[in-house]
Amino acid sequence: MAYLDHAATTPMLAEALEAYVAAAREVGNPSSLHAAGRHARRLVEESRERIAAALGARPSEVVFTSGGTESDNLAAKGIFWARRSASLNHNRVVASSVEHHAVMDAVEWLGAHEGAQVSWLPVDAAGRVDPSALAAVIDQYGDEIAVISVQWANNEVGTAQPVGELSALAAAAGIPFHTDAVQAVGQVPVDFTASGAAAMTVTGHKVGGPVGVGALLLGRDVACTPLLHGGGQERDVRSGTLDTPGVVAFATAVEATVKAQEEYAARVGALRDDLVARVRKAVPDVIYNGATEDRLPGNAHFSFPGCEGDALLLLLDAQGISCSTGSACSAGVAQPSHVLIAMGADDDRARSSLRFTLGHTSTAADVDALLAALPGAVERARRAAAWKTPR
Amino acid sequence: MSGGVDSAVAAARAHDAGHDVTGVHLALARNPQTYRTGARGCCTLEDSRDARRAADVIGIPFYVWDMADQFHESVVDDFVAEYAAGRTPNPCLRCNEKIKFEAVLDRAVALGFDAVVTGHHARLGADGLLRRSVDDAKDQSYVLAVLTGDKLSRAIFPLGDSTKAQVRDEAAARGLAVADKPDSHDICFIADGDTKGFLQRRLGEAPGDIVDARTGEKVGTHNGAYAYTVGQRKGLDLRVPAADGRPRYVLSITPVTNTVTVGSRQDLEVDLVTATRPIWHGEPTPVECDVQLRAHGEVVPAVVTVDGGTLTARLLSPARGVAAGQAIVAYRRDPEGGDVVLGSATITAGTRSPSDVAGSAAVAAAPAAVAGGAGSSSAAAGAGSSSAAAGVGSSSVAAGVPEAVGADRG
């Protein structure tokens, strides 16, 4: 079994799992005033400090959430609502055209249901936003923009964005800048304060923590209207009883992966480069999608001309190899990836793509297993696509 | 795996038999929300989930294959075009022919699979011939008879030797949650079951005349000939009563003149059926055998002749409500191993032999209807070309007339 889908979710780190189990054995609501509650609160606050330290933030800037999707929704909608409440003129959202659905669909919802104007930033063939494109939008609409959101690195093709340059442009215009760093933490250096962002999304299960816990790092002076109303546990921006064991395990995982990032990037990056070189050799007409520089070290993304990605996935799955077509599903049906389309790929190239993502448990044997199965799978997938009437 | 009980048990049996089985659910709706919701149909997110859970319980891999474009072109568009041409399509038969045993089979074979297993109620003999299921009421050989020998050689039907009740019991014993899921009977891509409304949205209103076959007199009007079923009696809203005061039935639909022709019950009877695109498995003809003219319809003894691209069946006792576009399936009786499918073809016309026609005036008075632009002719007794809207008039027609023709699931 070769697990090559770490960008979807990665195995929990042993220390994170242990921390989870230890905290889960204890009782205590962090909002309770008695000893048990104070103990749980202490675990939560220590975790907040560890995450803040690992990611270059102040502890008070860490707002715990249920994960990446909630954090992205909170940032996009919450900051939009707060800014428009302050001035009706702030009625525009700017986002890149390669955002994760958690941002993209939240922004589209603002357009459809809140009357927001939306500007989508184009990307180049590598999936990268050109800062001059943002500068142009700010020039044109600066007074109207409520919030700007551009991911730190893309979940499908692994391209890293020039976050520092983009956030500097936003800051100069006085516009809050949000970045979804779900894929970036532990893979590349991530420092919230240094990035200049007003808000940043992180999540547990991409860094060896549990699913269902994450955070929005939110600058202290950034106004944000809550999505969830209730006890106001997290700075009155987010309500809900805190998941103490989840938070503890999340913090353990963030701390460990950030500490190991440099060594990890070198080791996994070399594995990835080997994978890419061998896939290119085995399938000479393969297209390598995404950036060559400024790319997540574990990400390899290809289009296999003449194949359907889901056929390849099935054939590799049958050989014990787990990968992803890297696209959104509805009833399990693959839609052509909006990321590849934004990068200028046509429908066929988008549908013929596969994502292989390495992670902390990956070894050379995983790459060997892929290369043993891939040529036969590509040949069969090509036969399977050949009968189809051209679209 | 549709998410129903039959395909779940079929997959389990194939798995038990030692095959390396992969579950596939077909996504057939372009927007998964638009096809029927709830437990009684296919094509919904809920059905996809039911199928996935069945695959989990059996212990086989499971994928959703997107066949929405192929389904739309080969089945839905064809369904509408056939009605527009005055014929009565069977979309389930078409789906078996073009989707399950063409698009899916071809893709599966290319990917390295040997066969397609389905939960159809039919048997496949060691001779490679299709036979009826042991469960007469659930037999689906009619909607599978369109499969060529090549396709049948790649098909496995594990349920043919079981009744539906046995299949349900086995599903329950295997812990498959779909054991009690209701059967589906309607057309999966018509969410509300309103075929007339569906066709009206697709084809628009087209007012025209309802004409008496014997007198040629206009006896009423309609808003779209496609909404009528051969054999339909109720809902005709005729303004001029018949001379003999007896009920009148739809005999034929003529798209060229947008006319619905009505006549007596006796005029519905035909004894000669001609059909095109025969799939024939080698039995020398002429052959005396049984023929079935619609899904779950009566079986009539006949002499069948296949000559090139045409199949002709001389019925030894007359049939009523024979609709162009439906399949004629020829069976050789075999009470032991199940009646054997000798072949099938698509009906182009049902006619009455001149010697049988009572009253030659009828011949002269009947409109010279040419239906469908495919050369199917409506002769004296009518019923040459027809339109049967599933669910329209299904409960209102006389005995022996199709109930929801073309709406057999499977």
> Per the CB < 8 Å rule, is A315 touching B112?
yes
Cross-chain Cβ contact B48/A332 below 8 Å: yes
Give domain status of residue B105, yes or no: yes
Mark which of B164, B180, B196 sits at the end of a domain.
Answer: B180
| Number of domains present in the structure of chain B | 2
Q: Is the pLDDT of residue B159 over 70?
A: yes
In terms of pLDDT, which residue wins out, B408 or B391?
A: B408
Please indicate, yes or no, if residue B195 is contained in any of the structural domains. Answer: no
Domain assignment of residue B196, yes or no: no
Known catalytic residues of B are 95, 188
Q: Answer yes or no: do B43 and B81 share one domain.
A: yes
pLDDT at B397: 26
For residue A318, the chain B residue with the least C-alpha distance is B61
For the cut 60, the answer to whether the pLDDT of residue B256 exceeds it is yes
A333 and B66: CB-CB below 8 Å?
yes
DSSP designation for B146:
T
Residue B91 lies in a domain: yes
A314 closest CB neighbour out of B45, B69, B111: B111
Q: What pLDDT, in 10s, does the model give residues B176-228?
A: 988 888 887 778 888 778 888 899 999 998 899 999 988 889 999 999 988 88
Instruction: Determine, yes or no, domain membership for B194.
Output: no
Pull the structure tokens for residue A93: 């959202």
Residue B128 and residue B12 share a domain: yes
Q: Is there a single domain that holds both residue B161 and residue B227?
A: no
Same structural domain, B297 and B374: yes
Distance from CA of B17 to the nearest CA of A (A): 19
> Which fold, A14-256?
Aspartate Aminotransferase; domain 2 (3.40.640)
**What CATH number corresponds to the domain at position B332?**
2.40.30.10
Which of B22, B32, B69 has its CB closest to that of A330? B32
- Whether residue B85 lies inside any domain: the answer is yes
Mean pLDDT of A131-159: 97
Predicted confidence at residue B180, as pLDDT, reads 85
If asked whether residues B156 and B225 sit together in one domain, one would say no
Residue B303: pLDDT over 50: yes
- Among A111-115, B236-240, B379-383, name the one with the lowest average pLDDT: B379-383
Q: CA of B48, closest CA in chain A: separation in Å?
A: 7
Tell me which chain B residues have a C-beta less than 8 angstroms from the C-beta of A381. Answer: 111
Same-domain status, B210 and B176: no
Structure tokens at B237: 């809203």
Decide if pLDDT at A342 tops 90.
yes
**Any domain includes B79:** yes
Task: For residues B242 and B316, state if they share a domain.
Answer: yes
Q: What phi and psi values does residue A182 have, to the nearest 5 degrees?
A: -55, -45
Residues B39 and B149 in one domain: yes
CATH superfamily of this structure's domain A2-7+261-386:
Aspartate Aminotransferase, domain 1 (3.90.1150.10)
Closest to B139 in 3D by CA, of B287, B306, B312, B341: B341
Q: Do B27 and A332 touch (CB under 8 A)?
A: yes
B155 and B214 share one domain: no
**Which of B53, B66, B116 is the mutation pick for testing A, counting most A CBs within 10 A?**
B66
Mean pLDDT of chain B: 83
Q: Which residue has the tokens 């469960």?
A: B135
Domain of residue B346 covers 206-410
Q: Where do the structural domains in chain A lie, given as residue ranges?
A: 2-7+261-386, 14-256
**What tens digit of pLDDT does each residue of A197-229 get?**
999 999 999 999 999 999 999 999 999 999 999
Residue B26 assigned as binding residue: yes
Q: How many CB atoms lie within 10 A of CB B403?
A: 21
Average of per-residue pLDDT across A323-351: 80
Listing DSSP states for B289-321 in one string gives EEEE-STT--EEEEEEEEETTEEEEEEEEEEE-
Report, as an integer, the average pLDDT of A36-61.
Answer: 97
> Is A61 exposed, middle or buried (CB count within 10 Å of its CB: 0-12, 13-18, 19+)?
buried
CA distance A12 to B138: 51
Q: Do A380 and B111 touch (CB under 8 A)?
A: yes
| A positions 259-318 inside 8 Å of B (CB) | 310-311, 314-315, 317-318
Please tell me the distance from the alpha carbon of residue A233 to that of residue A230, in angstroms, as a whole number: 8
For the cut 90, the answer to whether the pLDDT of residue B280 exceeds it is yes
Same domain for B225 and B149, yes or no, is no
ipTM for this prediction:
0.84
Give the pLDDT confidence score for residue B365 in this predicted structure: 30
A98: left (phi over 0), alpha (psi -120 to 50) or beta: alpha
Indicate which CATH number applies to the domain containing B127: 3.40.50.620
Q: Which residue of B has its CA nearest to A311?
A: B111
- Check residue A122 and give its pLDDT: 98
Domain co-membership, B267 together with B153: no
Query: Is A329 annotated in the active site?
Result: yes
Tell me if B159 is assigned to a ligand binding site: no
Residues B225 and B158 in one domain: no
Is residue B381 one of the residues assigned to a domain? yes
**Helix orientation angle between A244-282 and A35-55, rounded to the nearest 10 degrees:** 30
